[in-house]
Amino acid sequence: MSDLLKYSFKLPPEQQAIRDKCFHPSGMFVEFPIEDVETSIPARFEKIVRLYPDRLAVKMGDRALTYGELNRYANRIAYAILEKRGPASEPIALLFEHGIEVIAAIFGVLKAGKFFVALDPTFPLERISYIVEDSGAGLIATSSGNTDLASKLKNDARAVLNVDEIHNSYSSDNIGLSASPDDLMTICYTSGSTGKPKGVVQAHRNVLHSVKLLTASARICVDDRLTLLHSLSFASGHAHLRISLLNGASLFPFDIKSEGVRCLAKWLEDEQLTVYHSPPSLFRQLAESFSGREKFESLRLIRLSGAPVTQLDFDLYKKNFGPETLLEFGMGSTEARGIGSAIVDRTFTFPQQGVPVGYPPPEKKILLLDENGQGVELGHVGEIAVTGRNLNVGYWNQPDLTEAKFLAGPTGSDERIYLTGDLGRIMPDGFLIHLGRKDFMVKIRGYRVELGEIEKALLTHPEVKDAGVVAWDQEPGGKYLVAYVVPRGSNALAVNELRGFLKKKLPDYTIPAIFMFLESLPLTNGKLDRTALPRPDHKRPNLEQSYAPPQDEVETRLVQIWEEILNVRPIGTYDNFFDLGGHSLAATRVISRLIQTFQLDLPVKALFDAPTVAQMAAVITKNQVKRASEETLNRMLSEVEAMTEEEAQKQLTEENARC
């Protein structure tokens, strides 16, 4: 494999010129020193705390902590962990909602000399239980809102620590435990081809090296204010956490699931955020919510990752943001972190074929391999592989998989090669174009989804004989999942029953939007021929309840909105939004339309609480009646205030006489 590195590229002058504009207006950028890569996360964090103890570290809603306060909070958590588990290195499970507590807990775990496994409490219990068992976590750190769930995971060998009950008797001083750069920092779980999530292991050095590269690329400085929109149970959620709090910048978590997209634009303006990061799907939702009056004067960089960017994403960027705001897109993986990226302005030309990725970061090279593992010629299609000295460690407790996906470097050095399973083409200047997956792993709303995992879950249903899952392209951009199911008997399966079955086993983003029932699956040489599966027809699925037409004007308008957003027809008044393929991002679109249509202030949670047309119509009607009553009362009060005392007394006398 010594010929694989025959192509070597320098960053083109045009790309370098754009990156040279990527600075905060204050000009406060300081390079991340190479010597800090050879330390540990707590060592770098405590260095930042000493430099900026009174600067804002993290803010969510009305709650804010300085670097000094966050450090003391993390120290108390660390001492509480040490009291329960001792100083040995081991995994600690973190079960928290999105917010400040999980950030403090991450630093607390690392300060205690351990490594963390972040869990999303909205995931099915079966998935959470598997991750806890597979990781071998002996302690679950959580908060009061999740103690009931944590108690279901507790056993004789696994304790629970509620950080809300940690009191001031624990010291807030730095512990002083030293960690090696090669010590484990976290295990990030992703979907697995075996039907079970697999853990990717990251060490301190690997992560700090990534922070160094991202800091240099985005020119992160102490005056930056960064968004945190991703769940920290995914590797993509860690990028802004690290490049902000390990550089003295300010981090702003925002819970999309509870707050909704409609509040996001105002939040970006009010908090004067400078660097935005989300999957492209959420960015599209954000742009759709704009009123046209927004002025993002502080926003200097938009970072889109987690899924392929589209021409629509670039057009929305050009339409809604000024020339002073730059756009960054790229490609990464949990195993190798950053693989390629580009920072562009409004003059960028979107490629006609494939998805733009960009250029490899310093100290990494991109390879394209054929089916025999040999390099392909420039301009030809091959499997994307990345080589470097700071790839992640490998897979947790899966040495065979690690050996298969992480190959020895081509020159016998300490470099390794990671095989991504993605196809691509390298342009003459070194720019990488992504051309899709080599296998059956896809990105859905920014999440990596293994189609085989969904198929295996479907096949555990007692009434399912065979199943296949395909990701279809949709407009505007992105993909949606369609499940093709062969029932065992002659009785038709209800979609809402199947969907409920899967929700007990899989995260919501892996639940197919559409279920189609076939007599048999098309096969070629005994294997499923996905190309022969019929395109989805977007008809109303077979549900347990019969179709019922809308009964009034409110229900009729609701049905129209749901049909437009879900692309399913016809929708009945008792149909459940989520049984029709609705998900959290689609819910935010529905709520935004309802707010515009009915002039009401509704939270996204309202659709989860009232998921049928009839239930939501009742919520809207109730709010309309309440608003009308308030308007009538306010009008009467205004009239009374305008009356003279004699007129008011006369009207009161007449009212009493009528009574």
**% the chain with pLDDT above 70:** 92
Give me the pLDDT at residue 1, please: 44
Q: b/e string for 260-286 if b means 16 or more Cβ within 10 A?
A: bbbbbbeebbeeebbbbbbbbbbbbbb
- Specify if 659 maps to a domain: no
The last residue of a domain, from among 378, 412, 439: 439
Give me the pLDDT at residue 635, please: 67
Q: Minimal CA–CA distance to 421: which of 448, 445, 395?
A: 448
> In which element (H, E) is residue 452 found?
helix 451-459
Give me the pLDDT at residue 493, please: 86
Cβ atoms 384, 432 nearer than 8 A: yes
Q: What average pLDDT does range 231-239 have in this prediction?
A: 86
Question: In the predicted model, is pLDDT for residue 631 greater than 80?
Answer: no
Give me the pLDDT at residue 654, please: 63
Question: How many CB atoms lie under 10 A from the CB of residue 475?
Answer: 8
Give me the pLDDT at residue 567, please: 84
- Specify if 642 maps to a domain: no
Instruction: Pick the more confident residue, 653 or 384.
Output: 384
Residues 210 and 289 in one domain: no
Give me the pLDDT at residue 2, please: 40
The last residue of a domain, from among 399, 415, 439: 439
Here the CATH number for the domain that contains residue 514 is 3.30.300.30
- Specify if 543 maps to a domain: no
Q: What is the dihedral of CA 653, 656, 658, 659, to 10 degrees?
A: 180
Residues 191 and 298 in one domain: no
- Specify if 540 maps to a domain: no
Distances (CA, A) of 453 to 323, 437, 497: 43, 16, 19
Among 78-92, 307-321, 620-634, name the most confident range: 78-92
Q: Minimal CA–CA distance to 116: which of 223, 202, 175?
A: 202
Give me the pLDDT at residue 524, please: 64
State the DSSP code for 462. Answer: T
Q: Minimal CA–CA distance to 327: which of 376, 277, 282?
A: 277
What is the number of structural domains in the chain? Answer: 4
Give me the pLDDT at residue 638, please: 65
Here the CATH number for the domain that contains residue 367 is 3.40.50.12780
Q: Minimal CA–CA distance to 289: which of 261, 314, 310, 266?
A: 261
- Specify if 541 maps to a domain: no
Residues 294 and 361 in one domain: yes
**% the chain with pLDDT above 90:** 53
Domain span holding position 334: 1-22+260-439
> How far is residue 607's CA from residue 584's CA, in Å, rounded to a whole number?
10
- Specify if 368 maps to a domain: yes
Residues 18 and 38 in one domain: no
State the DSSP code for 442. Answer: E
Provide the token pair at 364. Answer: 């990494």
Cβ atoms 364, 387 nearer than 8 A: yes
- Specify if 102 maps to a domain: yes
Residues 35 and 16 in one domain: no
Cβ atoms 24, 298 nearer than 8 A: no
Residues 314 and 381 in one domain: yes
Residues 283 and 365 in one domain: yes
Question: Which residue type sits at 187?
Answer: I
Decide: helix, strand or coil at residue 609.
Answer: helix
Residues 298 and 325 in one domain: yes
Could you tell me where the beta strands, DSSP code E, fall in 334-456?
337-344, 355-358, 364-369, 382-388, 394-395, 406-408, 416-426, 432-437, 441-444, 447-450
Cβ atoms 594, 620 nearer than 8 A: yes
> How far is residue 83's CA from residue 74's CA, in Å, rounded to a whole number?
14
Instruction: Give the confidence band of 636 by pLDDT, cuts at 50, 70, 90.
Output: low
Give me the pLDDT at residue 476, please: 62
**Interval 438-495: pLDDT, tens:** 777 788 877 878 787 888 889 889 999 888 899 888 766 678 899 999 898 777 788 8
Share in percent of the chain as helix, strand, coil (round to 5) = 40, 25, 40
Residues 495 and 398 in one domain: no
- Specify if 230 maps to a domain: yes
Please identify which residue in the block is written with the tokens 């129209």.
560
**Interval 133-186: pLDDT, tens:** 999 999 999 999 999 999 999 888 899 999 999 988 899 999 999 899 999 999
Q: What is the mean pLDDT of the chain?
A: 88
**Interval 184-226: pLDDT, tens:** 999 999 876 556 789 999 999 999 999 999 999 999 999 999 9
Residues 525 and 395 in one domain: no
Residues 277 and 411 in one domain: yes
**Interval 513-545: pLDDT, tens:** 889 899 888 876 566 777 788 888 788 877 878
- Range scoring the smallest mean pLDDT among 11-20, 22-31, 174-183, 189-198: 189-198
**Interval 553-608: pLDDT, tens:** 999 999 999 898 888 889 999 988 888 888 877 888 888 888 888 888 888 888 98
Residues 78 and 167 in one domain: yes
Give me the pLDDT at residue 206, please: 93
Q: What average pLDDT does range 403-418 have in this prediction?
A: 82
**Interval 267-310: pLDDT, tens:** 999 999 999 999 888 898 899 889 888 889 999 999 999 888 88
Distances (CA, A) of 107 to 185, 470, 641: 10, 40, 58
The last residue of a domain, from among 226, 252, 278: 252
Question: In the predicted model, is pLDDT for residue 646 greater than 70?
Answer: no
